[in-house]
DNA sequence: TTGACATATTCCCATATAGGAATATAATAT
DNA sequence: ATATTATATTCCTATATGGGAATATGTCAA
């Protein structure tokens, strides 16, 4: 069985690198139209729409209509980009500290 | 192209529900042998090994060998389960607040 | 040595998914 | 009305992935 549905799960939503890019692009707090994001991130328009759809469904962003545009904004207070960066960087640091981490053998077999 | 490699990316590592279960099971700080986790979480041994492998590669857990067992423990200070829960709950709350969020139409088209 | 136990790895398959192309929907302008 | 702009959706495909079964590796005991 592959991963849990991307549309139901925040973690799956932010597992996609492009979506994290989008989150970063929205980090300023300003609302952005789909077209702006398409240009800034060099993603095709359909792809962008799909990613934004996923982010919206899990509650990371919200939309508002303004004329023919749809403005997406990060949901303030939730899932700040810097939190994501922290998580990533912390784990990556750990991973590189212990290159292929195996631990050494031991005679001390814990009870159980 | 599907998602980014699960073995390179912390976010993909925690995107898998079973792996979050494992993280929770390790939350106490104690080290657990693979077999214990297999029993507790009712996951097959190979599956467990694979998940632990992923978690290890991205730096979320570390292993130490004790006799024929391998003891896995959460990397203290990194990626605490409660952080994951917070992220998830916050986003889920937001998502349910705005059931199918669309925003209302407007005449006010912001300057590009 | 052989055997039992603990964990990792390989092979295979079903399935979800990201992306592209084309199309649909919506809103404004003329 | 038609045209144009902006975004969403549908269809398709290639690919990564999680899980099971079987096997390999490793470790200890006799």
The pLDDT tens digits of the residues spanning B37-79 come to 999 999 999 999 999 999 999 989 999 999 999 999 998 665 6
The domain limits of chain B are 10-87
> How far is residue B61's CA from residue B88's CA, in Å, rounded to a whole number?
20
Q: Which of residues 29-88 of A touch strand D (CB under 7 A)?
A: 33-35, 38, 45-46, 48-50, 52-53, 63, 68-70
> How far is residue B8's CA from residue B59's CA, in Å, rounded to a whole number?
10
**Predicted pLDDT at B10:** 86
Task: Kindly tell me if the per-residue pLDDT of B85 is higher than 50.
Answer: yes
Mean of the per-residue pLDDT values of chain B: 78
**Predicted pLDDT at B44:** 97
**Predicted pLDDT at A9:** 83
Pick from A28-42, B39-53, B94-108: least confident? B94-108
Q: Is A78 helix (H, G, I), strand (E, B) or coil?
A: coil
CATH 3.30.2020.10 for the B10-87 domain, yes or no: no
**Predicted pLDDT at B35:** 97
Residue B90 tokens, joined: 């916050």
What CATH number is given for A10-88 in this structure?
1.10.10.10
Q: How many pairs of residues across A and B have Cβ atoms under 8 Å apart?
A: 152
Is the CB of residue A99 inside 7 Å of nucleic acid strand D?
no
Residue pair B23/B81 in contact by the 8 Å Cβ criterion? yes
Residue pair A29/A72 in contact by the 8 Å Cβ criterion? no
B11 — pLDDT class (breaks 50, 70, 90): confident
Instruction: Please indicate if any CB of chain B lies within 8 Å of the CB of A47.
Output: no
Residue pair B103/A62 in contact by the 8 Å Cβ criterion? yes
């Amino acid at each position: 069985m592959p991963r849990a549905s991307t549309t139901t799960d925040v973690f799956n939503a932010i597992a996609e690198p492009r979506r994290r890019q989008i989150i970063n692009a929205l980090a300023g707090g300003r609302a952005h139209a789909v077209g702006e994001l398409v240009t800034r991130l060099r993603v095709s328009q359909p792809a962008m729409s799909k990613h934004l759809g996923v982010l919206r469904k899990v509650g990371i962003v919200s939309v508002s209509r303004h004329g023919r545009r749809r403005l997406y904004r990060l949901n303030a207070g939730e899932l700040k980009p810097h939190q994501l960066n922290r998580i990533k960087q912390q784990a990556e640091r750990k991973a590189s500290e212990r290159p292929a981490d195996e631990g050494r053998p031991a005679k001390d077999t814990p009870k159980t």
